[in-house]
Structure 1
Amino acid sequence: LEDDLARRDLTINALAEDDHGNLVDPFGGARDIQARVLRHVSSAFAEDPVRILRVARFLARFAADGFTIAEETKTLMREMVAAGEVDHLVPERVWAETRKALGESTPSAFLRTLRECGALEILFPEIDALYGVPQRTEYHPEVDTGIHNEMVIDMAARLAPGDDLIGFCAMTHDLGKALTPAHELPKHIMHEERGVAPVRVLAERLRVPNEHAEMAVLCCRLHLLAHRAFELRAETLFGLIEKLDAMRKPQRLAQFITVCEADQRGRLGMTESTYPQAGLLRAAHAAAVDIKATAFVAAGMQGPAIAEAQRKARIRAVAAIKDAFP
């Protein structure tokens, strides 16, 4: 039994109970639970670099309970990264741990842990590049884009607990800000378009599910439109719904709204704010859905004329909702 426990990664997992109900704890796991410390069991930890991701993921789960990583474990993780242990991790294993971390309560702890040991730059260079990039203080009191990204993924975890698709979209929505030319800072003109390429590169490298990749691109490209929903013309507002393919896939609108709300509230001093744009987007979508093609068929229209008439009617319906929206 003790040989088996010695092969565990963390002391808090190297615990057992014998047939008589006695605790078997050869590595002080119970003590570390009391002290809220994540500590590696032995030097065998260094034999599997996935354990770096696992420690980061465990902190994402337990950071809210006051857990920290033991200094000697942090040192070992940095040594493993410096030795090139994470350079050739299999993408599927990286994604498996990342996916779990994004479903935890404090996914920012996952990114911070990887960054502190040097693994973020290797495994997620697109995300690592966000740190130190300034934003306009009137919109982002937290200033640093990397910190904003951490706040957004934590808010996403709060709004959609356990939803790693929402988490992935939140984590990648602002990748374009790392590509803003220095002379444009702290503004980020067209960052939503600049971000599409790195989102695709990251998604392909990690081999994330197609649904995650497609939705992440949409959130990256379109999130500013959601924030400006009340300023948009009815045609543009309906065009946003069309670009999301939300007429056929209504769940996409719900996912998109959640990511956008996380972006809006994932800022210093904004965590308890409201997101009224969500109500407008939902109402506009509902109004558009109510316009069926059957009425135009009954009027004798055929072919492309039906689609065109239906689209115009839907835009009018969206306009009416927008005008009446409080």
Structure 2
Amino acid sequence: MDIYLVGGAVRDELLGLEVKDRDWVVVGATPDDMLNRGFKQVGADFPVFLHPATREEYALARTERKAGRGYHGFTVYSAPDVTLEDDLRRRDLTINAMARTEAGTLVDPFNGRADLDARRLRHVSAAFAEDPLRILRTARFAARLAPMGFRVADDTMALMKQMVADDEVSHLVAERVWQEIQRALHENEPGTFLQVLQDCNALAVLIPELASGDTFKAALTALRCTCDSSDDTDTRFAALLSPLPEDDTRARARALKAPNDCQDLARLTSQLCHTLLQQDTADVDESTLLGILDDTDAWRRPERFQRLLTALCCALPAEIHNLIRLLQASEQAATGVEARSLLAQGFKGKALGEAIRQERLQRIATLIHQQQA
């Protein structure tokens, strides 16, 4: 058998980037050969094995043939007669279709090294069109490598557009779409991910509410802003959907099967964007501010409230930022109300709750007066 280092490890090494994970392809072996050498099989759909010492993944060389629509619509063939080139040909991009021998020799049948040098994301073969998930993966690699000047090759972009026109993207399951979106939100330039999807018309299928010109620009601006100030997935996702009405945000976040924390923060952000845009800063009073703090559960969820403020600052125009700062200061002032001292004064039950509310209102009113003075 022959063993080759493949994919991202080879790519990143050639780019001078840190190699975080190493994947291997084994040519000329059977599952029994691997098991006899102490490897543990973990792949259900095709033979993948864990090295007994390093725990790195070793996959038997395989080919794939399209047998239906969507990500799972493939039949896999793995046998000792599958060559390294056969295995590399099934991969998405040429920069991911390189290998190194155990002696260190580069194996590059599809000119991935030249595409690295040209800063070009190019598909390996026409088989790219058989898996619509590759559109999202290409967009994600564009987001990761954008700082180094990478762009999607023209012929690959044309192929992606054709895939969208052929209705391939609509067959992706929501869980896989969310997985790619979540990963993309943490790439070097998440906005590039959205821009590539927009350029190939996939965004209109995946998140149609964002695809129109002004809405798309607003979403891109808010997302890029939050990437400078937050590493949290829910904050970045909330900024992305912030230009949408609350009902649309709720429906799209649910359709994408985003985690509950992402859905909640996205909904609150869209809701408050609308509320604050309608609010005349000069007329804001303590009841309005306390109402917002109560509605957003700022008292029990202070960390989420801070992420909400971060998303709002990126989603709303600069003239609203004074109101956001006032809201933050109000939360800080009103959080200091202690139920214990009010209990000592004899308040309890509903009366205690009302006493807490009145004390919070008083503190916020004092804060507003101080800022207006």
Which TM-score applies when normalising by structure 1? 0.82
From 249, 260, 267, the counterpart of 1:199 = 249
Amino acid at match of 1:86: V
Q: Which runs of structure 2 are paired with 1:248-287 in the superposition (5 Å)?
A: 248-264=300-316, 275-287=321-333
**Aligned equivalent of 2:14:** none
SS in 1 for 2:337: coil
Q: Any idea what the Cα deviations from partners look like across 1:179-204, whole Å, max 9, x if unmatched?
A: xxxxxxxxxxxxxxxx1221122112
From 303, 317, 320, the counterpart of 2:363 = 317
**Aligned equivalent of 1:244:** 296
Per-residue deviation, 1:241:
1.4
Bigger relative CO (Cα 8 Å, ≥ 6 apart) = 1
Amino acid at match of 1:294: R
Structure 2: distance between partners of 1:39 and 1:157: 27
**Aligned equivalent of 2:155:** 72
SS in 1 for 2:343: helix
Amino acid at match of 1:9: D
From 73, 77, 86, the counterpart of 2:169 = 86
Measured at CA, do residues 229 and 16 of structure 1 come closer, stay the same or move farther in structure 2, by a change above 3 Å? farther
Does the CA-based 8 Å contact 1:229-1:280 persist in structure 2? no
Per-residue deviation, 1:223:
2.2
Structure 1: distance between partners of 2:368 and 2:309: 17
Gaps of 5+ in 2: 1-83
From 333, 343, 351, the counterpart of 1:305 = 351
Measured at CA, do residues 125 and 101 of structure 1 come closer, stay the same or move farther in structure 2, by a change above 3 Å? same
Q: Any idea what the Cα deviations from partners look like across 1:268-318, whole Å, max 9, x if unmatched?
A: xx7xx9955554333221211110111111111221000001011011112
Structure 2: distance between partners of 1:201 and 1:249: 23
Q: Which runs of structure 2 are paired with 1:57-136 in the superposition (5 Å)?
A: 57-128=140-211, 130-131=212-213
Q: Which runs of structure 2 are paired with 1:152-191 in the superposition (5 Å)?
A: 152-161=222-231, 163-175=232-244
Q: Any idea what the Cα deviations from partners look like across 1:110-163, whole Å, max 9, x if unmatched?
A: 2221222221111111111x32xxxxxxxxxxxx332122111111112213x2
**Aligned equivalent of 1:29:** 112
Larger Rg: 2
Which TM-score applies when normalising by structure 2? 0.72
**Aligned equivalent of 2:266:** 216
Q: Any idea what the Cα deviations from partners look like across 1:239-282, whole Å, max 9, x if unmatched?
A: 211111010000121111111111246xxxx7xx9955554333
Gaps of 5+ in 1: 132-143, 176-194
* Two-structure CA RMSD over aligned residues (Å): 2.2
Amino acid at match of 2:148: D
Correspondence 1:51 to 2:134: yes
Q: Which structure features the higher share of helix residues?
A: 1
Structure 2: distance between partners of 1:3 and 1:304: 73
Structure 1: distance between partners of 2:250 and 2:106: 49
Q: How many residues align?
A: 287
Per-residue deviation, 1:38:
0.7
Amino acid at match of 1:281: L
Residues 100-109 or 298-307, more deviating: 100-109
Correspondence 1:147 to 2:217: yes
